[in-house]
């Protein structure tokens, strides 16, 4: 269960934000102030912290950075607290949440931080034979205690399967802890995984448990494992082999009892062949393997998932449950879904909000056109194969979508694709990176380059209230 820390009073508007997060499956922790929040984060960690502007957010942000504790901070307050909001953002808070809270904005923040999940009753939904076979194999894997490597394209539901495995394992009563290995720099990721002792480095003012110790007795998901630095791969391998962690600055190892699940959208055997991923670690992680097919290869799941998401978001928004009109179903089935289940979920959420009448019609189903994919897959016109006047083979005519790109540099095309995808994801960096098939770190670096060049970059979810300057955020 994802972990949310609320810093401030729960008897007011911040409590309303907490209730929305709990409804999304988050596990709530509470601290009265910034100092208490730091103590709690040292001991337990969290995926996201909502902090009332009445508390010293700049101090908390700097303290977390000094102690290498990775926890996104969202400042919460009323638009009248503009000056405090600006100071918090400038100090390093990720976002600003205006109070009273907007439920959709809270959900977007949770998802951007990787701290949102479907409740257990909204686990894997499948009808297609390929997915049913995968769930059968997952049921076998759940009974074991061996490491599992979950592979598949971005957006196919790797974390959903990981939580499904944990919920049906002998460790279900223990914690489920997830960490995105691509979202943190090497030094921060090392401290997050293995923890540190007091005095291990400048700023380490207290002993801190890492994710391995936080997951003791339960399950640890290493998401985007293919992005991990080779030096950390070696240290991870030792933890798996010896079942003990060495905290940074520690004098003795700490025993841990953790089941490892790893997820990646990369071809790890190819990464091993290129020397970018350790072969011995690959074999340790790949004791059991689950490959999630892309949505385009399990067409029978499309309408089943669509109806499932429609019912969920109708409940969440207080709207009546509605089915899909025949033309709407046809649109859903005809789309290639390059963003997989995540793209489908977004489209259905939008359709539920836009639909009018007793059914969800085709006009409410707004789909993101996969421009470059469609252009690359477009057939070459038959007449383009031969130059009739000269009787020679002619160069195939470029499809219309590709022809529009001729004369432009790869850098220009890439920049336009990244910014357009980010805009269609409403600024959500995590989702945009997954759709683009790149790491969140790569996306942030490119966005920083675009800002430096003076280009407008779509803001992240949870932008400041009107009138406040928007701080540059990755």
**Could you read off the pLDDT of 282-318 as tens digits, one per residue?**
999 999 999 999 999 999 999 999 999 999 888 878 8
Kindly state whether residue 457 falls inside one of the protein's structural domains.
no
439 and 336: one domain? no
- For residue 215, what is the DSSP state? T
Whether the Cβ atoms of residue 435 and residue 154 lie closer than 8 Å to each other: yes
Which of residues 79, 112, 145 is at a domain's end?
112
Kindly state whether residue 317 falls inside one of the protein's structural domains.
yes
**CATH code (residue 330):** 1.10.8.60
Kindly state whether residue 54 falls inside one of the protein's structural domains.
yes
Q: Report pLDDT for 35.
A: 92
282 and 177: one domain? yes
Report the chain's mean pLDDT, rounded to a whole number.
Answer: 82
Whether the Cβ atoms of residue 222 and residue 262 lie closer than 8 Å to each other: yes
**What is the mean predicted confidence (pLDDT) over 83-90?**
87
pLDDT band at 369; cut points 50, 70, 90: low
**CATH code (residue 421):** 1.10.10.60
- pLDDT higher than threshold 80 for residue 115: no
14 and 42: one domain? yes
Which of residues 72, 91, 112 is at a domain's end?
112
Expressed as residue numbers, the domain containing 81 is: 3-112
**CATH code (residue 30):** 3.40.50.2300
**CATH code (residue 218):** 3.40.50.300
Q: Report pLDDT for 381.
A: 40
**What is the mean predicted confidence (pLDDT) over 269-291?**
94
β-pair partners for 76: 52, 97
286 and 141: one domain? yes
179 and 36: one domain? no
Q: Report pLDDT for 463.
A: 45
Domains: count for the chain: 4
Kindly state whether residue 395 falls inside one of the protein's structural domains.
no
pLDDT band at 468; cut points 50, 70, 90: very low
Q: To which H or E segment does residue 227 belong?
A: none
Cis peptide before 474 (omega within 30 of 0): no
Kindly state whether residue 370 falls inside one of the protein's structural domains.
no
Give the C-alpha separation, 82 to 436, whole Å. Answer: 35
Which of residues 237, 265, 291 is at a domain's end?
291
- pTM of the full predicted structure? 0.65
38 and 104: one domain? yes
**Could you read off the pLDDT of 227-250 as tens digits, one per residue?**
898 889 999 999 999 999 998 888
Strands (E), 110-239: 148-151, 176-180, 219-223
Kindly state whether residue 465 falls inside one of the protein's structural domains.
no
143 and 282: one domain? yes
- The answer to which of 23-27, 153-157, 238-242 has the lowest mean pLDDT is 23-27
157 and 260: one domain? yes
Rg (C-alpha) for the chain, rounded Å, is 24
Whether the Cβ atoms of residue 292 and residue 156 lie closer than 8 Å to each other: yes
Kindly state whether residue 376 falls inside one of the protein's structural domains.
no
287 and 263: one domain? yes
Instruction: Write phi, then psi, for 175 (nearest 5 degrees).
Output: -75, 150
Q: Which two tokens stand for residue 47?
A: 């995926």
| Cα angle 294-296-297, degrees, rounded to a multiple of 5 | 70
Kindly state whether residue 178 falls inside one of the protein's structural domains.
yes
136 and 247: one domain? yes
**What is the mean predicted confidence (pLDDT) over 386-409?**
48
143 and 77: one domain? no
125 and 274: one domain? yes
Structure-model confidence comparison of residues 302 and 3, the more confident one = 302
């Amino acid at each position: 269960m994802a972990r949310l820390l609320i810093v401030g009073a729960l008897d007011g508007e911040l409590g309303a934000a907490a209730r929305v997060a709990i409804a999304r499956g988050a596990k709530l922790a509470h601290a009265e102030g910034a100092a208490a929040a730091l103590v709690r984060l040292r001991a337990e960690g969290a995926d996201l912290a909502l902090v009332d502007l009445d508390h010293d957010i700049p101090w908390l942000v700097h303290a977390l950075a000094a102690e290498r504790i990775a926890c996104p901070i969202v400042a919460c307050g009323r638009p009248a607290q503009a000056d405090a909001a600006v100071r918090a953002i400038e100090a390093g808070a990720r976002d600003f949440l205006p109070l009273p809270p907007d439920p959709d904005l809270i959900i977007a923040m949770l998802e951007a931080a990787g701290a949102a999940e479907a409740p257990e009753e909204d686990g894997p939904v499948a009808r297609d034979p390929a997915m049913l076979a995968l769930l059968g194999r997952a049921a076998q894997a759940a009974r074991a205690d061996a490491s599992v490597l979950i592979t598949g394209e971005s957006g196919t539901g790797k974390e959903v399967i990981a939580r499904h495995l944990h919920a049906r394992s002998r460790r279900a009563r223990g914690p489920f802890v997830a960490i995105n290995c691509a979202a943190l720099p090497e030094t921060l990721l090392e401290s997050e995984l293995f923890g540190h002792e007091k005095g291990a480095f400048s700023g380490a003012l207290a002993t801190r448990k890492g994710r391995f110790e936080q997951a003791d007795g339960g399950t640890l998901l290493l998401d985007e494992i293919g992005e991990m630095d080779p030096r950390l791969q070696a240290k991870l391998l030792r933890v798996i082999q010896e079942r003990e962690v060495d905290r940074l600055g520690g004098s003795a190892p700490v025993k841990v009892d953790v089941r490892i699940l790893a997820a990646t959208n990369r071809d790890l055997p190819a990464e091993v062949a290129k020397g970018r991923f350790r072969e011995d670690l690959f074999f340790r992680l790949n004791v059991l393997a689950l490959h999630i097919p892309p949505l385009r290869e399990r067409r029978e799941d499309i309408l089943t998932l669509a109806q499932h998401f429609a019912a969920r978001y109708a409940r969440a928004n207080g709207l009546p449950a509605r089915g899909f009109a025949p033309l709407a179903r046809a649109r859903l089935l005809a789309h290639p879904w390059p963003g997989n289940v995540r793209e489908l979920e977004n489209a259905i959420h939008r359709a539920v909000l836009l639909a009018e009448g007793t059914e969800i019609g085709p006009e409410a189903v707004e789909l993101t056109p996969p421009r470059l994919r469609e252009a690359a897959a477009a057939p070459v016109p038959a007449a383009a194969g031969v130059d009739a006047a000269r009787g020679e083979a002619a160069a195939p005519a470029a499809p219309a979508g590709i022809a529009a790109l001729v004369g432009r540099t790869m850098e220009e095309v890439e920049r336009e694709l990244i910014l357009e995808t980010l805009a269609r994801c409403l600024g959500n960096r995590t989702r945009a990176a997954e759709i683009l098939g790149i790491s969140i770190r790569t996306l942030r670096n490119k966005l920083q380059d675009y800002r430096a060049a003076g280009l407008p970059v779509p803001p992240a979810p949870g932008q400041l209230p009107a009138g406040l300057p928007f701080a540059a955020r990755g």
